[in-house]
């Protein structure tokens, strides 16, 4: 009877936890990497760490455009707000608008909410109707060119007009900010946000899986991840013997402030994001992975977001 | 209570809009050129531009996950597809505002959809919060049931009435594909929703679904993408038949399918229901119904089973159950359900295709016609394109219903209880024989012409169509045959009453007699006790049913 009650309670807990996850909480761990190239080569040579195999599946390019108020209210309050453009061989080009919180501690839980599809957002530039993505594209390009142009300035102004106009619109990052602090993040504050930093990241992506051929005992002792088939990455849809635990990525990023002759900031990070349907079990498996990875590759845990790190470097 | 609440809401809306300065300034010039439901006028300004503030207020309510309550009611979870659809509408309206576009039919349609979703979303919140019906509400449903039999009368117009109808195309309410045979429409709808009811289904135990009085349990496809609901009891056959019939008449519906041992339910350990025994016990506690008679083979999946059905391989050693019979209703990932389709709002009660559905309800003798048994759904058409569709849901409380006043229980699918005639002509009036527990507002406004429009749809069902719908329901052979004759007779009574020339007369006899294995099972149009074999999990004669809890 007691067992039954415990099971029911833990089931309710899991349901609640999985609900909160789906509403915008991710469990992420970040590590600074001393030498990215050596680390990448090592991963390819010996991809099993702590019983988990890293399956390299994509090399993507990310552009991030961070927004903040002139006095960095978002950063000071532990948030980062960005437009992201992702170029992937697998899925082509996609855009999103994301709000993330800083990690509170090393347990890696972060709030993340996003508008995952910007394709239907349009605005007026002068008298022409223009897609939002066409407004932010030239700003992303600055990460490569680092040359401010008149067209870029025009898009910057249009984006600011969009922010002012949309401050009360049904856009999830804005709704979330108001929910977090309605007084601070009022319409005027959101309307004061402007692009401050743009970055480009080369991201090597890996699925963290338990492969029965590499670790049969762990495979047998771990319940299968209950994820809808369509939610599974393509590679794992094709190979249903692998049990998906987490996603990992190695980012080589360069950030520049949106100004003339910008200073560049280079960051290299390895990230792991829990994807297991029972988050605690996923976290346990990531713990084992982390323990071995720290010893083997001298990885150091990081809590600050790339945005916070870059702004700190710029301000010091 | 919800009916009263609906009435009150409509009244308050009327009072508000008719006294609101915005309405009086705006609606008159607008309404004079483009007619629209009164609820929509609030979305426009006096200069006929869209009212951005009001649009944002609605869209924020519908999309903001942090908005948990409205007027004290806990709002339902918002599905991703729903949020996305609201935002695409919102963006089109915001652009119309920026471009200073004057009111036109396109903006009205966008605003209509937005307001429809808002009303339905709030209705769902209110409905979810009603744990139990009050004594007064139960009394009202009881009185409706009592009053409706043989008392609903429609006057036959004395003057010439229109017999020509404009083709009604309403993308939200009907799936009228006149070129398609009525019996083929159900499968077409299912195909559009990517419902794949395979001959052999393997499903995983998930959780108890909420509401209703019929025992049911939610399960998942093997790809954990689509949900299904297994149902047992007296609605197994009726729901399947009536959903196909309504689809045949042009409406969107739920999609139940009949299964026997070709459905294997696996208890893979993820659900809190871990064994067939636990399922039985829990259903008994939750619904007060013992489905023991429906249980077929149970045990643990073996290697032998996996050899003949390879998709069972990952579940070797896990408990499973098969059933003597059940219905499996699709809850596809492509279809998101909101609340009711709001029969009393947005001028829906002026729609002939909705008012006419009263005759369809009468045709199947549906008792439970509450607003909660309608649903507004959002259907993914693929490539992130969606459309709203109103569906008639839970049509199984039909095809011969017995309501016990003393025990407060009821039973459906009692073929002997289904009258041979759906409608009778008494003098200058038509009298309907069905009982209904609720007469939603739009049915109160239904007139002869609306019903005649539906009679023409009913006329399109021919012998082949009716037979195929009855076969899909898998009644025991003699009972299916008796239903065929009764429905043919009911159809004929409808066509006769509405002076519709029958394009496909279906032969029937009220004196139907059937022998099975040398035993008379149907005599002179009546199912005999002898047919009530012990092999059926439920009696088709015995009145003892389940408690009426009106879906709560």
Q: Per the CB < 8 Å rule, is B88 touching A120?
A: yes
Query: Is B40 in a helix, a strand, or coil?
Result: helix
Residue B278 contacts A, CB cutoff 8 Å: no
B:281-310 residues touching chain A, CB 8 A cutoff: none
pLDDT at site B2: 41
CA distance to partner chain A, nearest, from residue B206 (Å): 11
Task: In whole angstroms, give the CA distance from residue B354 to residue B252.
Answer: 12
Least confident segment among B10-19, B241-250, B258-267, B379-388: B10-19
DSSP chain A: -HHHHHHHHHHHHHHHHHHHHHTTEEEEEEEE-S-HHHHHHHHHHS-EETTEEEEEEEEEEEEEEEEE-TT-HHHHTTEEEEEEEEEETTTEEEEEEEEEEPPSSTT-EEEEEEE---TT-EEEETTEEEEHHHHHHHHHHHHHH----HHHHHHHHHHHHHHHHHTTSS-HHHHHHHHH-TTTT-HHHHHT-EEEEEEEEEEEEEEEEE-TTT-HHHHHHSPPP---GGGS-HHHHH-TTSEEEEEEEEEEEEEEESSSSPPPEEEEEEEEEE--SSHHHHHHHHHHHHHHHHHHH--EEE-S-HHHHHHHHHH-
Chain B environment of A223 (Cβ under 8 Å):
269-270
Q: Per the CB < 8 Å rule, is B99 touching A169?
A: no
List per-residue pLDDT tens for chain A, 316 residues long: 444 444 333 433 333 334 333 446 677 888 888 777 788 888 878 888 888 999 888 899 999 999 999 999 999 999 999 999 999 987 899 999 999 999 876 666 789 999 999 999 999 999 899 999 999 999 999 999 999 999 999 999 999 999 999 999 999 999 999 999 999 999 999 999 999 999 999 999 999 999 888 888 888 888 888 887 777 888 888 887 889 999 999 999 999 999 988 899 999 999 999 999 888 888 889 888 888 888 888 788 888 999 999 999 998 8
Strand partners, A84: A64, A96
- pLDDT, one tens digit per residue, over B264-323 is 999 988 888 999 999 999 998 888 888 898 999 999 999 999 999 999 998 999 999 999
The length of chain B in residues reads 552
List, in order of start, the domains of chain A with CATH numbers. Answer: 26-315 (2.40.320.10)
Report the percent of chain B where pLDDT is more than 70. 86
Chain B environment of A177 (Cβ under 8 Å):
none
> Is the predicted pLDDT of residue B366 greater than 90, yes or no?
yes
Task: In whole angstroms, give the CA distance from residue B545 to residue B538.
Answer: 10
Strand partners, B40: none
- pLDDT, one tens digit per residue, over B205-238 is 999 877 777 899 999 998 778 999 999 989 999 9
The band of B14, judged by pLDDT with boundaries at 50, 70 and 90, is very low
Chain A environment of B272 (Cβ under 8 Å):
7-8, 11
pLDDT at site B308: 93
Substitution target in B52, B219, B272 with the highest count of A β-carbons within 10 Å is B272
Tell which residue, B328, B297, B345, has the closest CA to residue B441. Answer: B345
Least confident segment among A305-309, B18-22, B326-330: B18-22
Q: What is the mean pLDDT of residues B18-44?
A: 55
Task: In whole angstroms, give the CA distance from residue B2 to residue B394.
Answer: 18
CA distance to partner chain A, nearest, from residue B65 (Å): 8
Q: List Cα–Cα distances, A43 to A46, A89, A235, A272, in angstroms.
A: 5, 21, 18, 14
Task: In whole angstroms, give the CA distance from residue B128 to residue B110.
Answer: 27
Chain A environment of B98 (Cβ under 8 Å):
123-124, 165
Among B60, B77, B270, select the one facing A175 at the smallest CB separation. Answer: B60
Among A24, A170, A226, select the one facing B59 at the smallest CB separation. Answer: A170
Tokens of B357: 């559905």
Query: Is B303 in a helix, a strand, or coil?
Result: helix
Least confident segment among B32-36, B51-55, B392-396: B32-36
Q: List Cα–Cα distances, B11 to A8, B38, B71, B186, B349, in angstroms.
A: 46, 12, 18, 37, 14
> For chain B, what is the largest distance between any 2 Cα atoms, rounded to a whole number of angstroms?
80
User: Which residues are CB-neighbours of B329 under 8 A, at least 6 positions away?
Assistant: B228, B229, B231, B239, B254, B255, B256, B257
Q: What is the mean pLDDT of residues B450-470?
A: 96
pLDDT at site B164: 57
> Is the predicted pLDDT of residue B23 greater than 50, yes or no?
no
Beta strands in B307-384 (DSSP E): 319-323, 326-331, 335-337, 374-382
Q: Per the CB < 8 Å rule, is B225 touching A228?
A: yes
The band of B7, judged by pLDDT with boundaries at 50, 70 and 90, is very low
The length of chain A in residues reads 316
Q: Per the CB < 8 Å rule, is A170 touching B56?
A: yes
Q: Per the CB < 8 Å rule, is A129 touching B91?
A: no
List phi, psi (to 5°) of B440: -60, 155
> Is the predicted pLDDT of residue B154 greater than 60, yes or no?
yes
The answer to whether A197 touches A255, Cβ cutoff 8 Å, is yes
Q: How many beta carbons lie within 10 A of that of residue A228, not counting itself? A: 13
CA distance to partner chain B, nearest, from residue A115 (Å): 9
Task: In whole angstroms, give the CA distance from residue B482 to residue B525.
Answer: 7
Tell which residue, B83, B114, B108, B86, has the closest CA to residue B96. Answer: B108
The answer to whether B111 touches B50, Cβ cutoff 8 Å, is yes
Chain A environment of B270 (Cβ under 8 Å):
223, 226
């Amino acid at each position: 009877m007691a067992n039954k009650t415990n099971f029911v309670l833990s089931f309710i807990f899991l349901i609640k936890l999985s609900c909160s996850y789906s509403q915008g909480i991710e469990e992420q761990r970040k590590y600074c990497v001393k030498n990215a190239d050596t680390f990448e080569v090592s991963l390819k040579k010996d991809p099993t760490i702590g019983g988990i195999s890293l399956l390299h599946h994509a090399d993507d390019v990310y552009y991030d455009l961070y927004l903040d108020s002139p006095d960095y209210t978002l950063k000071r309050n532990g948030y980062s707000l960005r437009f992201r453009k992702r170029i992937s061989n697998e899925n082509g080009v996609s855009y999103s608008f994301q709000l993330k919180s800083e990690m509170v501690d090393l347990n890696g839980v972060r709030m993340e909410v996003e508008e995952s599809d910007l394709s239907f957002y349009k605005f007026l530039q002068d008298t022409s109707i223009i897609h939002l993505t066409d407004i932010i594209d030239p700003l992303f390009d600055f990460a490569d060119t680092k040359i401010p142009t008149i067209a870029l300035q025009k898009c910057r102004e249009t984006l600011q007009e969009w922010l002012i106009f949309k401050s009360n619109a049904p856009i999830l990052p804005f709704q979330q900010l108001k929910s977090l602090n309605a007084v601070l993040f009022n319409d005027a504050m959101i309307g004061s946000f402007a692009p401050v930093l743009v970055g480009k990241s080369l991201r090597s992506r890996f699925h963290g899986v338990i492969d029965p051929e590499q670790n049969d005992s762990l495979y047998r002792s771990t319940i299968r991840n209950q994820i809808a088939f369509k939610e599974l990455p393509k590679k794992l849809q094709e190979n249903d013997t692998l049990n998906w635990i987490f996603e990992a990525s190695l980012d080589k990023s360069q950030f520049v402030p949106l100004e003339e002759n910008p200073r560049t900031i280079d960051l290299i990070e390895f990230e792991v994001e829990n994807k297991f349907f029972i988050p605690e079990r996923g976290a346990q498996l990531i713990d084992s992975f982390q323990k071995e990875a720290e010893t083997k590759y001298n990885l150091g845990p990081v809590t600050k977001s790339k945005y916070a790190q870059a702004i700190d470097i710029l301000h010091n | 209570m919800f009916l009263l609440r609906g009435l009150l809401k409509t009244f308050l809306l009327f009072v508000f809009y008719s006294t609101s300065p915005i309405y009086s300034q705006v609606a008159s010039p607008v309404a004079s050129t483009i007619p629209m439901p009164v609820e929509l006028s609030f979305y426009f300004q006096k200069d006929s531009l869209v009212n951005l503030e009001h649009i944002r207020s609605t869209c924020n309510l519908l999309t903001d996950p942090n908005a948990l309550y409205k007027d004290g009611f806990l709002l339902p979870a918002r599905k991703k597809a729903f949020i996305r659809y609201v935002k695409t509408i919102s963006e089109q309206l915001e652009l119309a505002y920026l471009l200073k576009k004057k009111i036109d039919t396109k903006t009205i349609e966008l605003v209509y959809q937005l307001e429809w979703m808002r009303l339905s979303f709030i209705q769902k919140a209110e409905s979810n919060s009603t744990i139990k019906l009050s004594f007064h509400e139960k009394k009202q449903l009881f009185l409706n049931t009592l009053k409706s039999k043989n008392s609903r009368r429609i006057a036959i117009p004395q003057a010439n009435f229109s017999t020509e109808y404009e083709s009604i195309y309403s993308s939200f309410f009907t799936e009228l594909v006149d070129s398609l045979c009525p019996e083929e429409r159900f499968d077409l709808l299912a195909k559009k929703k990517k419902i794949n009811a395979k001959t052999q289904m393997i499903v995983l135990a998930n959780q108890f679904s909420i509401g209703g009085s019929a025992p049911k349990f939610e399960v998942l496809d093997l790809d954990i993408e689509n949900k299904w609901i297994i149902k047992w009891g007296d609605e197994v056959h009726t729901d399947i038949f009536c959903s196909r019939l309504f689809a045949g008449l042009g409406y969107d519906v739920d999609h139940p399918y009949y299964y026997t041992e070709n459905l294997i339910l696996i208890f893979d350990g993820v659900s809190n229901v871990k064994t067939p025994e636990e399922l039985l016990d829990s259903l008994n506690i939750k619904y007060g119904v013992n489905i023991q008679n429906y249980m077929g083979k149970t045990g643990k999946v073996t290697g032998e089973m996996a050899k003949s059905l390879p998709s069972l391989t990952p579940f070797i050693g896990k408990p499973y159950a098969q059933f003597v019979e059940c219905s499996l209703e699709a809850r596809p990932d492509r279809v998101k359900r909101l609340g009711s389709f709001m029969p009393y709002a947005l001028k829906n009660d002026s729609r002939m295709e909705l008012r006419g559905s009263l005759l369809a309800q009468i045709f199947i003798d549906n008792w439970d016609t509450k607003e909660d048994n309608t649903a507004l759904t959002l259907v993914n058409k693929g490539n992130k394109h969606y459309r709203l569709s109103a569906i008639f849901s839970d049509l199984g409380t039909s095809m011969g219903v017995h309501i016990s006043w003393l025990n407060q229980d009821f039973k459906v699918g009692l073929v002997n209880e289904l009258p041979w005639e759906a409608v009778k002509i008494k003098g200058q009036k038509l009298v309907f024989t069905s009982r209904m527990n609720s007469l939603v507002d739009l049915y109160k406004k239904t007139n002869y012409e609306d019903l005649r429009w539906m009679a023409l749809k009913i006329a399109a069902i021919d012998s082949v169509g009716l037979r195929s719908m009855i076969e899909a329901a898998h009644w025991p052979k003699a009972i299916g045959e008796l239903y065929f004759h009764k429905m043919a007779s009911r159809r004929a009574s409808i066509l006769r009453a509405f002076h519709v020339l029958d394009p496909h007369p279906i032969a029937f006899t009220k004196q139907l007699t059937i022998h099975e294995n040398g035993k008379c099972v149907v005599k002179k149009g009546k199912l005999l006790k002898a047919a009530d074999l012990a092999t059926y999990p439920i009696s088709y004669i015995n009145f003892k049913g389940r408690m009426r809890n009106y879906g709560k």
